[in-house]
Amino acid sequence: MNDFLSTSLQILKPLLLHGFPNTFLLSVVPLFFSLILGIIGGVLGNSKISVLRVIAKIYVYLFRNIPFLIFVYVAYYGFPYLGVNIPPLTTAVVALAINHGSYMTEIMRGGLNTIRREQIEASASIGLNIFQQYSLVIIPQTIMEVAPSIVGQTILLVKDTSIISVIGISELTRIGRQITMLTNSPFLVFFYVAVFYYVLCFLFQMLSNWSEAKVKKYIG
């Protein structure tokens, strides 16, 4: 029993102090940028201008059909090849944001199609310009419509942070492998790693449920 507690403490301390915060950072920052990319891509995908729709489609088809692991390698080795030297953490954020932004684009594009034409016309009739129509009326309603899909994509993003360990970033999975070599307890190590991933995904789910309930209460 004492060995179990001692080993658990040896495992949990680095996971809690280093792995979990880094994984949380790698989840929140790319999520923000991927949502921004999704909004822009969704608007372009629904544009009346064919060139803009084509640009959105190319972005979606390109990054949804490249395995994320391969894209991480391309980004990690590609930036230095082009003479752009950025830290691995920045590379990871960029890779996660671009990849998941393509999925967010399709989510937002579908959500924008649910907005009734009358609401758009009503916002225009009260003097709102096109930017105000999207920022104040269309986008907020769209996000509410597609909130469950956004949460689902967020959870996938959290899981994909485990792949980032291949470029040397000390998130949960990489630290778990390092601890395994020290403790020789792979089952226990990755059991705790799985628990941390579950907790992080659960927190995002609860935060989404809470914010959705608040918004629905506010709008009646």
Q: Give the residue extent of every domain in the chain.
A: 2-219
Instruction: Using the predicted structure, report yes or no on whether residue 174 has a pLDDT greater than 60.
Output: yes
Would you call 213 exposed, middle or buried from its count of C-beta atoms within 10 A (0-12, 13-18, 19+)?
exposed
Give the dihedral of Cα atoms 74, 79, 82, 83; nearest 10 deg. Answer: -150
Q: What is the mean pLDDT of residues 130-148?
A: 80
Cα R_g (the chain), whole angstroms: 21
Q: What is the CATH architecture of 2-219?
A: Orthogonal Bundle (1.10)
- Pick from 109, 114, 111, 112: nearest CA to 61: 109
CA distances from 7 to 4, 14, 182 (A): 5, 12, 10
This prediction's pTM = 0.88
Average pLDDT over residues 43-69: 92
- Contact (CB, 8 A) for 96 and 153: no
